[in-house]
Amino acid sequence: MRKIGILGRGTMALGIVQIFAEKEYEVLMWVRSLDETNPRQSVKPIERVLDRLVQKGKTTEEHMNITLSNIEIVNDLNSLRDCDLIIEAISEDMEIKKGIFKKLDNICKENTILATNTSSLSISEIANVTRRSDKVIGMHFFNPVPLMKLVEVIKGIATSDETKERIIKISKEVGKTPVEVQEAPGFVVNRILIPMINEAVGILADGVATKEDIDEAMKLGANHPMGPLALADLIGLDVCLAIMDVLYKEFGDTKYRAHPLLRKMVRGNLLGRKTKRGFYQY
């Protein structure tokens, strides 16, 4: 697999684009709307990251230029026709995802694998709108993608072993450690991590400790690299809320009920780093 289509322009999509381009894959980054006057605008965040790494002497300017030249920006799904693998990293909306997968199924060559970076939605349901459910799979990366080693590889009910093996292989080729996970709400990491963040929000709302002390406590007491509230800001409070809502809806267990403070902050657009305000200011 050499030609990789990546859908989206958010943090996750950009990270996935970066790691494939760094390993010399031919990357087509699909964005819904293109800035006609400056089509390369979408890769600017990657340029900034690589530029910083050059300044720090962690990569060379030559490698940065090669990486950037491996990325082509497209906004016509038809351009993805010949891709060997497509990784979708657009918004966490089942209907939008289904619409895109249906189109991709009609457009792409027969053996293209269609992967989704969904953080909690059903792979089987997405696959069901295609005529290639054996070639639809979950490939779940973690934020920040270039630094986080894990990829959860999730088979839907009809995903073939061959598709799974190919995704495991390519995940290793881009320097990740794949873990095979059965389809279940939140898979493994988010089913543990997001309720933990939700609990931290509850602790804050109850006035048990300040946000700084909650984060410090988990850093020093549980050896987490960052505290749960700072992590929520990194992930995005909207993403955390959406995952809690999926867990609650799927399991029907009140232990997964999103804390009202989390919902209130999302309604107020305090989404974390992306809106420059969450539990902290950026």
Contacting residues toward ligand CAA, per CB under 6 A = 49, 53, 56, 58, 119, 142-144, 146-148, 190, 193, 225-226, 231, 235, 239
Cβ–Cβ < 8 Å for 5, 134: no
Record the tokens describing residue 185, joined without a space: 């709400």
User: Would you give the DSSP letter of residue 281?
Assistant: B
Residue 143 CA to residue 27 CA, distance in Å, equals 20
Taking the least distance from each CB to ligand CAA, the nearer of 15 and 156 is 15
Residue 45 CA to residue 25 CA, distance in Å, equals 19
Close Cβ partners of 140 (under 8 Å, ≥ 6 residues apart)? 117, 118, 119, 151, 152, 153, 154, 181, 187, 189
Taking the least distance from each CB to ligand CAA, the nearer of 124 and 143 is 143
Of the candidates 120, 171, 190, 198, the residue annotated as catalytic is 190
Active site residue 78: no
Q: How far is the CB of 278 from ligand CAA (least distance, A)?
A: 14
Active site residue 47: no
- φ/ψ (deg, to 5) at 148: -90, 130
Of the candidates 42, 119, 120, 133, the residue annotated as catalytic is 119
Taking the least distance from each CB to ligand CAA, the nearer of 143 and 160 is 143
Taking the least distance from each CB to ligand CAA, the nearer of 42 and 119 is 119
Record the tokens describing residue 123, joined without a space: 């792979």
Active site residue 212: no
Cβ–Cβ < 8 Å for 23, 4: no
User: Would you give the DSSP letter of residue 42?
Assistant: G
Cβ–Cβ < 8 Å for 86, 111: no
Give the residue carrying structure tokens 């006035």.
207
Of the candidates 22, 117, 152, 171, the residue annotated as catalytic is 152
Active site residue 183: no
Q: How far is the CB of 220 from ligand CAA (least distance, A)?
A: 14
Taking the least distance from each CB to ligand CAA, the nearer of 111 and 147 is 147
Of the candidates 140, 171, 198, 259, the residue annotated as catalytic is 140
Q: How far is the CB of 224 from ligand CAA (least distance, A)?
A: 7
Q: How far is the CB of 144 from ligand CAA (least distance, A)?
A: 5
- φ/ψ (deg, to 5) at 212: -65, -40
Q: How far is the CB of 107 from ligand CAA (least distance, A)?
A: 27
> How many CB atoms sit inside 10 A of residue 201's CB?
27
Known catalytic residues? Answer: 119, 140, 152, 190
